Amino acid sequence: MTGAGEDFEAARLTVRLGAIVANYRTYCRMTGPCAVAAVVKADAYGMGAAAVAPALAGAGCDTFFVARLAEGVALRGILPQARIIVLDGAQADAVPALLTHRLIPALNSLSDIAAWSAAANAARTTLDAVIHVDTGMNRLGLAADELAILSGQSAARLSGLNIVLVMSHLACGDEASPMNAQQLSRFKQALAMLPPAPASLAASHGAFLGMEYHFDLVRPGVALYGANPQNTAQNLMQPVAILTGKVLQIRGIDTGDSVGYAATFRAKRPTMLATVALGYADGIPRTLSNTGAAAIAGGRAPIVGRVSMDLITLDVTGIDVAPGDEAELLGDTVSLSEVAAAAGTNEYEILTRLRRMPRVYEGRAGQTT
Amino acid sequence: MTGAGEDFEAARLTVRLGAIVANYRTYCRMTGPCAVAAVVKADAYGMGAAAVAPALAGAGCDTFFVARLAEGVALRGILPQARIIVLDGAQADAVPALLTHRLIPALNSLSDIAAWSAAANAARTTLDAVIHVDTGMNRLGLAADELAILSGQSAARLSGLNIVLVMSHLACGDEASPMNAQQLSRFKQALAMLPPAPASLAASHGAFLGMEYHFDLVRPGVALYGANPQNTAQNLMQPVAILTGKVLQIRGIDTGDSVGYAATFRAKRPTMLATVALGYADGIPRTLSNTGAAAIAGGRAPIVGRVSMDLITLDVTGIDVAPGDEAELLGDTVSLSEVAAAAGTNEYEILTRLRRMPRVYEGRAGQTT
């Protein structure tokens, strides 16, 4: 791939770093005096961690969550001083790289705890650690039986470890589910069973469930990148990802003519089509076939026919469109939540698919990658 | 991201370059004496063009198709001598980069033809060109009215151009549709209207429609990467993409316990769960929630609960699984066609989503990237 900003690029993702910072500050205002970390896993939800993380650090964020160890290693090269927490844990084969790159594992099991404590003791040092307790996701984190064992033997099992955070994760934080209160209650019980330490339960959505979910640190992820953390209210977040593609060709077709693979669209009237340089390899879900829409030349144009790998076809009848015009498939007009709903998925999956895109970073000098 | 092969990587895509070459040779055998080009757009359908294209060149492939101009520029840096055809065309702002990097545009419209011919004449040279005629996709390529104009004025309009290929693309090449014969007929009519030149109609599936679809060049894409080009027959292609993730944690849950976001799975019996380091940011479609399966430790384990961004949860009850074991989500056991069907999409979209993955290239020395 060539660098961003080449004028021959037919499609582009614009990432508004200023909007990410503004969204981060919205969380700081809302949850203060609680600390606000940033989740930048999955390459900052597809937006590019190498540009996003420094922008957030510049806004005062000093704690970052990643999923994979490899993501943590890469982020350490970008942020030499930040606190970087690796959610995947501390399996024995991960320990050397965690140490080398000064990463803090989220310890998900007694086995993770044993591996990390052994590393501390072998080095005759104290290592920072996060304890992740499961309160109902049944995905990662200490199960209730493991927590009971740890509670009874915490001095021995946590030998050499400085617990900087005890965390858990909500399964239904984006809805008004009784499971939220249940997980909150279990989390408080878990905290009471462990040595005193800062605590964190809420991610993007959970922070809006009320102050009792905030504890010492909230850790927004998807909302930083523009998703609405309150499904039933106006979006307080600013749009971050602007996905545009150029019109490659315009053509008129007649009533009855078909469009695209498997001829799934047939024109009911003489129709003007615009073929745009964006497809599912660029992250336009194939489920938007004959369903999604684009903003173009001041109008709104439905996607007709199947989304193909590199191209989509819009019905631009009645809109004054020319080759070279840009169509917005995601942005200020076609919102992230609209695209997710039309595609039958969530905002997270839409964002994390935007990976091939050449990209331009707005709002911070010197951070174009 | 760190390089491939780090032992702490929790998930990995293995790309079998030898299988890609074998699949290419299957097309050569089947279609000979016809030439066989390779479609490597969308970063070789997610497999990594920087490794794939040299492997194919080593097997004798000298013509490569890409979609975007930027893809062509990148490929030129890798293959200095190959013939590289850019499907997006030759809009005026693309011409300088096409010239600089010796790329051949697929001319999709009279406007593309005019821009490229003007470039040839301005440089007092002859430029290679591909003419793309539309025969029913209504996506890219000369429409019938444009073809008629070109036919009547071909000497003037093609001034300075050396037509190395006239191509079109089938809309329903993967099914027994009457549209195939219709497009074949239209393509032959188009060829008769243009100066003599080599011709190409068939991609992966079209090559199996019979010799009359072969013309001078076939251009397989998705089948090179392991997809079945014959929906109703055994797959003659070798699997290429092997997607594996490590088990991060094992836990037992009780009857009635829920798993994952929105608690969409509830255990009907005591259940052993394995949480695996792969999620939709890695290309596991979220539509596989409670639907897909993995091969692990000699068994087959269903995905239970929602696919999340970085993790999936498998029901491994009755399978002897330990943390660190690898689960295959795509490969020799869980086939590409099975995954596509379970996810409700096609094989192409599955492949092109495998973009975050650290990867290992098998079968060619010195090409790990």
For B179, which DSSP code? H
Percent of residues, chain A, with pLDDT higher than 70: 94
Instruction: Report how far residue A40's alpha carbon sits from residue A221's, in angstroms, rounded to the nearest whole number.
Output: 7
Q: Any chain B CB within 8 A of the CB of A1?
A: yes
Whether B199 is covered by a domain: the verdict is yes
The neighbouring-strand residues paired with B120 are: none
| Residue ranges of B 64-103 with Cβ closer than 8 A to chain A | 67-71, 73-74, 87-89, 91, 93-94, 96-97
How big is the A-B interface in CB pairs under 8 Å?
A: 232
Taking an 8 Å cut-off on Cβ atoms, the answer to whether B138 and A345 are in contact is no
Question: Is the model's pLDDT at B363 over the cut of 70?
Answer: no
Q: Does A269 share its domain with A301?
A: yes
What ipTM is given for this predicted complex?
Answer: 0.91
Task: Check B41, B246, B280, B361 and give the catalytic one.
Answer: B41
Give A-chain residues touching B147 at CB under 8 angstroms.
none
Contact assignment for B42 to A356 by CB distance below 8 Å: yes
Q: How many domains does chain A have?
A: 2
The interface residues of chain B toward chain A in range 214-243, judged by CB-CB distance below 8 A, are: none
Q: Which long-range contacts (CB under 8 A, 24 or more apart) does B81-89 make?
A: B82/B53, B82/B57, B83/B128, B83/B164, B85/B37, B85/B130, B85/B165, B87/A310, B87/B41, B87/B132, B87/B140, B88/A10, B88/A248, B88/A277, B88/A310, B88/B140, B89/A248, B89/A249, B89/B132, B89/B140
What mean pLDDT, rounded, does chain A reach? 93
User: Is the per-residue pLDDT at B281 higher than 80?
Assistant: yes
Task: Give the model confidence (pLDDT) of A38-79 as tens digits.
Answer: 999 999 999 999 999 999 999 999 999 999 999 999 999 999
Q: Given pLDDT bands bounded at 50, 70 and 90, which one contains residue B9? A: confident
pLDDT of residue A356: 56
Residue A41 known to be catalytic: yes
Q: Cβ contact (<8 Å) for A171 and B260?
A: yes
Tens of pLDDT, residue by residue over B147-176, are: 999 999 999 999 999 999 999 999 999 999
How far, in whole angstroms, is CA A14 from its chain's centroid? 16
DSSP letter for each residue of B274-291 = EEES--GGGT--GGGTTT
Asked whether residue B68 carries a pLDDT value surpassing 60, the answer given is: yes
Q: CA-to-CA distance for B116 and B158, rounded, in angstroms?
A: 9
Gap between the Cα atoms of A279 and A37, Å rounded: 34
Q: pLDDT-derived band of residue A361, with 50, 70 and 90 as boundaries?
A: confident
Taking contacts as CB-CB distances below 8 angstroms, the residues of chain A near B41 are 281, 309-310
Mean pLDDT for all residues in chain B: 93
The residues, ordered by sequence, that sit 6+ positions from B145 with a Cβ below 8 Å of its Cβ are none
Nearest-Cα distance to chain A for B278, in Å, is 10
pLDDT tens sequence across A156-173: 999 999 999 999 999 999
- Read off the tokens for A280: 């599912």
Mean pLDDT of B44-49: 92
How sure is the predictor about B11, in pLDDT bands with cuts at 50, 70 and 90? confident
Six-digit token pair at A341?
Answer: 């709903």
Predicted local distance difference test score (pLDDT) of residue A10: 86
Q: What is the pLDDT of residue B348?
A: 87
Higher-confidence position of A282 and B356: A282
- In chain A, which among 14-53 make CB contacts under 8 A with chain B? 41-43, 45-46
Contacts of B239 (CB under 8 A, 6+ apart): B16, B19, B226, B331, B332, B335, B336
Partner-chain contact B277 A309, CB within 8 Å = no
What pLDDT, on a 0 to 100 scale, did the predictor assign at position A12?
Answer: 87
Question: Is pLDDT larger for residue A363 or for residue A58?
Answer: A58
Question: Rounded mean pLDDT of A248-273?
Answer: 96
- Return the number of other C-beta atoms located less than 10 Å from residue B192's C-beta: 9
Closest CA to B296 of B278, B308, B269, B270: B278
Q: In this prediction, what percent of chain A has a pLDDT beyond 90?
A: 89
pLDDT of residue B81: 96
Question: What are the chain A neighbours of B139 within 8 Å (beta carbons)?
Answer: 259-260, 275, 305, 308, 311, 313
- CA dihedral over A209, A213, A214, A220, signed as positive or negative: negative
pLDDT at A2: 37
Query: Does residue B306 carry a pLDDT above 80?
Result: yes
Range of the domain at B36: 17-225
Residue A357: per-residue pLDDT: 57
Q: Residue A150: what pLDDT?
A: 98
Q: Is residue A1 part of a domain?
A: no
Residue at B312 is within a domain:
yes
Residue B137 and residue A8: Cβ atoms within 8 Å? no
Which CATH number goes with the domain that contains A295?
Answer: 2.40.37.10
Q: How many CA atoms lie within 13 A of B360 on its CB side?
A: 11
**The domain spanning residue B165 has which CATH number?**
3.20.20.10
Band (A194; pLDDT cuts 50, 70, 90): very high
Chain B CB within 8 Å of residue A2 CB: yes
**CB within 8 A of A213, min separation 6: which ones?**
A180, A184, A201, A202, A206, A207
Same-domain check for residues A73 and A24: yes
Give a yes or no: residue A352 inside a domain.
Answer: no
- Domain boundary among the residues B194, B225, B256 is at B225
**DSSP strand E in chain A: where?**
11-16, 35-36, 38-39, 63-66, 83-86, 104-107, 127-132, 161-167, 199-200, 217-218, 241-253, 258-259, 265-266, 271-276, 293-296, 299-302, 312-315, 326-330, 359-362
Residues B330 and B187 placed together within one structural domain of the fold: no
- Per the CB < 8 Å rule, is A138 touching B172? no
Residue B177 in domain: yes
Residue A251: pLDDT band (50, 70, 90) is very high
- Chain A interface disruption, residue of B68, B182, B253, most A CBs within 10 A: B68
Are both B177 and B108 inside the same structural domain? yes
**Pair (A193, A274) in one structural domain:** no
Separation of alpha carbons A169 and A184, rounded Å: 10
The pLDDT, as a whole number, for residue B357 is 57
CB contact under 8 A, A260 and B109: no
- Kindly state whether residue A347 falls inside one of the protein's structural domains: no
Q: Which two tokens stand for residue B296?
A: 């692990």
A355 reaches B (C-beta below 8 A):
yes
Q: Does A258 touch chain B (CB under 8 A)?
A: yes
Do you know the residue count of chain A? Answer: 369
Q: Say if residue B221 is in the same domain as residue B267.
A: no
User: Any CB–CB contact under 8 A between A313 and chain B?
Assistant: yes
Do residue A248 and residue A212 come from a single domain? no
Tell me how far CA of residue B246 lies from CA of A241, A358, B12, B154, B198, in angstroms. 31, 31, 9, 60, 49
User: Does one domain contain both B33 and B129?
Assistant: yes
- Tens-place pLDDT, residues B83-138: 999 999 999 999 999 999 999 999 999 999 999 999 999 999 999 999 999 999 99
Q: Does the residue A30 lie in any domain? A: yes
pLDDT score for A218: 98
Average pLDDT on A284-301 reads 96
Candidate from B2, B249, B355 with C-beta closest to A140: B249
Give me the residue from B74, B94, B253 closest to A1, CB to CB: B74
A256 and A215 within one domain: no
Quickly count helices (H) and strands (E) in chain A.
11, 19
B109/A249 CB distance under 8 A? yes
On whether any CB of chain B is under 8 Å from the CB of A111, the answer is yes
The answer to whether residue A9 is domain-embedded is no
Output the six-digit token pair for A117: 């404590």
- Kindly report the pTM of this predicted structure: 0.92
| Interface list for B 178-217 with A (CB within 8 A) | 179
What residues of B are in contact with residue A278 (Cβ under 8 Å)?
Answer: none
Phi-psi category of A160—alpha, beta or left, where left has phi over 0 and alpha has psi -120 to 50? left
- pLDDT at B216 exceeding the cut of 50: yes
Cis geometry, peptide bond prior to residue B33 (ω within 30 degrees of 0):
yes
Mapped onto helix, strand or coil, the DSSP state of residue A294 is: strand
More confident residue, B232 or B332: B332
Digit-coded pLDDT (tens) for B321-347: 999 999 999 999 999 999 999 999 999
Type of residue at B30: M
Distance separating alpha carbons of residues A11 and A247, to the nearest angstrom: 9
Nearest CB neighbour to A249, from listed B140, B177, B344: B140
Average pLDDT over residues B177-194: 97
Task: State whether A247 and A275 are in the same domain.
Answer: yes
**Is B251 in Cβ contact with A134 (below 8 Å)?**
yes
Taking 80 as the threshold, does the pLDDT of residue A95 lie above it?
yes
